[in-house]
Amino acid sequence: MELNRNSVLPLYYQLKEKLKEEIDIGRYNPGDKILSENELSSLLGISRNTCKQAIADLVAEGVLYRIQGKGTFVAEKKIFKGLTESFSFSSDNNSNMAGLVTKVVFAEEIRESKESIEFLKLKESERIYRIQRIRSHNDVPLVLQTSYIPKFFCPTLLKFDLTQSMYKIMKENFKIDFSYFTENLSCVMADKYEAEKLLIKKGAPLFLLTRKTFTAKNEIIEVARSFMPGDRCEFYFKHGEEISIALNHITRQAS
């Protein structure tokens, strides 16, 4: 690893990009420990502060993570999700989601709530399934997802293996005719429960992706709320397609 001292690029930035390059080509794999700030300083003949800044930037970007008393390690690669990408109702494991391990946290039948009546457009007498699952890669939680599904669509859903694609289960066993879905993306802070499940700190930034799935009769068959740590995933938008982004502006009055 060599840095160009005659470059207009700062040394810390060059080091940062070199480390990212070594990770990209597989010299460092997820979970591998990288050289310490002192070791990099000695190896490259640059100041420890320069190394510290490069590593701090990579930690902030989610490329590296620190374990107190142990060192700095390569993080799992982020999952990439496009809000406009094609989606198959025959599988939950689309494109970059393939290879994730699914664990069911709970699957239960519950009475309707004010919230479920509102977003599922249910009558007060209806019952729903609430199913929570965690998607992980190499034991690192990437997605905490809770699905709400009206029971009358698939009365025996809870008898199936819910670590598999629920869309596939519903399509093959209950003849559900899926039509389309909508998604809303927002940013929230992790509460205590979400932090525990995703192995992050309380208050850490999360993406919240809310998806409503509709049948061919325009009925809402599922509302899924997915929490994803901001340093473990990225969203992208395809150019050339019409995308509507709503920004909520919060104004505060001076007291």
Enter the tokens of residue 4. Answer: 């160009």
User: How do residues 154-204 score in pLDDT, each as one tens digit?
Assistant: 999 999 999 999 999 999 999 998 888 888 888 889 999 999 999 888 888
Which of 24, 41, 74 lies at the terminal end of a domain, its last residue?
74
Q: What are phi and psi of 56, to 5 degrees?
A: -60, -40
Cβ contact 59:68 at 8 Å: no
Q: Based on the domain organization, do 30 and 130 belong to the same domain?
A: no
Do 216 and 117 reside in the same domain of the chain?
A: yes
- Is residue 61 domain-shared with residue 84, that is, in the same domain? no
We report the CATH number of the domain holding residue 175 as: 3.40.1410.10
Distance in angstroms between the alpha carbons of the first and the last residue of the chain: 55
Q: Is residue 244 part of a domain?
A: no
pTM across the whole model: 0.64
Q: Whose CA is closest to 180, among 212, 208, 147, 148?
A: 212
**Domain total in the chain:** 2
Q: What pLDDT, in 10s, does the model give residues 53-97?
A: 999 988 887 788 888 788 999 887 765 555 444 444 545 544 455
Same domain flag for 66 and 105: no
The last residue of one of the domains, among 74, 95, 121, is 74
The CA–CA distances, whole Å, from 220 to 122, 181, 211, 223 equal 9, 9, 10, 7
Closest by Cα among 19, 89, 92 to 51? 19
Q: Quick check: is 164 in a domain?
A: yes
Instruction: Answer yes or no: do 191 and 96 share one domain.
Output: yes
Helix residue ranges per DSSP H, the chain: 11-24, 37-44, 48-60, 114-120, 166-174, 192-198
- For residue 196, the enclosing domain spans 79-236
Do 227 and 102 lie in one domain? The reply is yes
83 and 68: one domain?
A: no
